[in-house]
Structure 1
Amino acid sequence: MTSKASAQSYEHLNEEAQYQLSRSNQERIDYIQSSRWIGYPKAKEVLGRMEDLLVYPKKHRMPCMLIVGDSNSGKTMIAERFSDLHPAYEREDGEGVVIPALFIQSPPTPSESRLYSNILTKMFAPFRPSDTTDKKHHQVMTIMAACNVKMLIIDEIHSLLAGPLDKQRIFLSVIRNLSNELKIPIVGLGTKDALRAVKTDPQLDNRFKPSLLPRWEMDTDFRRLLASFERMIPLSNRSNLKGKAVAQKIHFMSEGLLGEVSDILVEASIYAINTGLEKIDLDVLNQISYESPKERKKGQR
């Protein structure tokens, strides 16, 4: 650590953030811009439910799950964390790869063929986009079974509403059949529109149990979350993000959305480093050019 760092106490930071202080400003900024996991209670609860599904005994009608929240509420972060906890690995006999949890993006419209393409692409399987849907289906079923995929996670599943009703129903039927044929749980991530979409298929509605990610309230839990963020941000001076005035400002700017909180703190941290202030306070939050979700929506009109 630098002589400056060694001469000062950095008890407000965790060990990794303290180490980052010894690096250049650009290296610190790169670190701040990289994603990090904060295990707040609701996220741990959702991860626990996913763990239960992963080891659920195989049967024809597997239970499934729908993680529901507003855009930028942290749904994808949870799924990525789960995928990181269950990475693909080579079989002990050397005969291929095991993929415990396959995390894919939903196609922008309800297309069976494009769903299969996304699965094959994520599994690095060779195929032609022009292949017939039946051929892709056979390839998906064969490869997923061979790789012992135990769970399929589909992000942005509400995008199926971008198509006509008949295609929505076909797409939902395809998801149900994938679960039935492979005997695996499926976890969908989406906005509240995803709930509405799933309810159009009574069989899926009974199997997809929703887990809601509400917006954060301006309360003790939110201030505790900010304290966790502060310990991970390599700034020399204590910010006291959990202080009432700063916490209220961040909550107002973020509208209670976890992803927005993270983006605000990244931008404020970079400003604090570049200006030499080395902390995030009300002045810094007022200086950064950050638009709330509502303000961005107004600009799109």
Structure 2
Amino acid sequence: MTQFDPSLLPHLAPSAAAVAQLQDDLRIRAVRTERWVGFSRARHVLEHLQSLRDDPPSTRPPGIAVFAHSGMGKTMLVEKFRRNNPPTNHLAHGVESTPVISITLTSRPNERRIYAQLLAALDIGIDQRAATLADLEGRAVRLLKQAGVRVLVFDEIHNLLAGSPREQRVVLQLLRFLSNELKASLVCLGIAEAREAIAGDVQLARRLDQIALPRWKADAEFQALISAVLRSLPLRHPSALSAQSIRHIARVSEGITAKIFSMMNQLAIEAIRNGTDRIIDDAVEAWKPAIEKEAAFA
């Protein structure tokens, strides 16, 4: 196998340049593996999240609500935030600190489910049926305090809307109670309808700064995103895409982050397989989703 010096691949990020030295099957596996790609919009949200983590405890902790269409990368941002703030062991005290706890609200969330999910996030098993709500609350609050939780993340917050107005109020009050009791910041993520869910508790809504992640448009910000994605793909030759190709990617992906990454990954895999080792305009114009390709042979 030909060896490549990463310094001779300046069009790639260092990690991608290292992978570019590997065999084709390993490069394809790397393309298919989830990876973090830093771009301005993501860095902006992460900076806000980190500021919550770094703020000292307060009686009215600030928070953030992130609204975006499905597939815009909300969960990816949370996972990156969690990796940036992992649990740490304090050997002197024999205690593990968990600064960030994240759960995904179920299709019809309620107090018992949320407390059970929070305990599970701390690797604490509990029999919901055998425990009273008061038991769940007391245990969850006590252990969350012991863990030193600074940020509570609730994904799919729009699932609140599946409940009755009373059920929605109860859950929103629970979130506010947890924030107050733990002196921890709240991060709520969901689709646009999540605004309606959070608005059900005026006091909570006032604490949450709102960040919207709109669909991508074929502008300078989108071009920067494509450049960042290209730098993350282990292709041995630079990919120079025209403005027309950039617009085409934005159009066929519908501006959805997940679709953009999927398209670029598929183009990269095809480039590795056919030996061009770069993404070219013709490939972008000819690209079809993998499902459509399979359907053509059905």
> Do both share a fold (TM > 0.5)?
yes
1:172 Cα deviation from its structure 2 partner: 0.7
Shift of 1:286: 4.7
Aligned to 2:12: 13
Contact 1:271–1:288 (CA<8 Å) still a contact in 2? no
**Residue correspondences, number:** 290
Change (3 A) 1:291 1:173: farther
User: Does residue 1:202 correspond to 2:202, yes or no?
Assistant: yes
Specify the alignment match of 1:98 in structure 2.
97
d(CA) in 1 for partners of 2:57, 2:18: 46
CA shift, 1:284, in A, is 2.8
Matches of 1:162 and 1:137 in 2, distance apart?
Answer: 23
In the aligned structure 1, how far is the partner of 2:17 from the partner of 2:48? 34
Distance 1:276 1:176, change over 3 A: same
SS in 2 for 1:3: coil
Long gaps (5+) in structure 2 = 293-298
Aligned letter for 2:28?
I
Shift of 1:94: 4.2
Deviation at residue 122 of structure 1 after TM alignment: 1.4
> What one-letter code is carried by the residue in structure 1 that aligns with 2:211?
S
Measured against aligned partners, the alpha-carbon deviations of 1:48-92 in whole angstroms (never above 9, x if no partner) come to 222222233323222221011111112112211111111101014
Residue 189 of structure 1 is matched in structure 2 by 189
Cα–Cα, structure 1 residues 31 and 89, in superposed 2: closer, same or farther, change >3 Å?
same
SS of 2:148's partner is coil
- The residue identity in structure 2 corresponding to 1:220 is A
SS of match in other structure, 1:237:
coil
Aligned residue number for residue 244 of structure 1 = 243
| CA shift for structure 1 position 11 | 2.9
Q: Assess if the C-alpha contact under 8 Å between 1:253 and 1:291 holds in 2.
A: no
Distance 1:220 1:132, change over 3 A: same
Paired residue for 1:111? 110
Where in structure 2 are the equivalents of 1:7-86 lying within 5 Å?
A: 10-86=9-85
The answer to whether 1:158 aligns with 2:166 is no
Deviation at 1:115, TM superposition (A): 1.1
Gaps of 5+ in 1: 296-301
- Post-superposition CA distance 1:274-294 (Å, at most 9, x none): 3333222344335544289xx
Q: Are 2:278 and 1:279 aligned?
A: yes
Post-superposition offset of 1:244:
0.7
Partners of 2:248 and 2:285 within 8 A in 1: no
Q: Percent identity?
A: 29
Q: State how far apart, in whole Å, the 2-side matches of 1:77 and 1:160 are.
A: 21
> Per-residue displacement from partner, 1:143-182 (whole Å, max 9, x unpaired)?
1011111111111111111222211111111111111111
Q: How does 1:212-231 map to 2 (within 5 A)?
A: 212-231=212-231
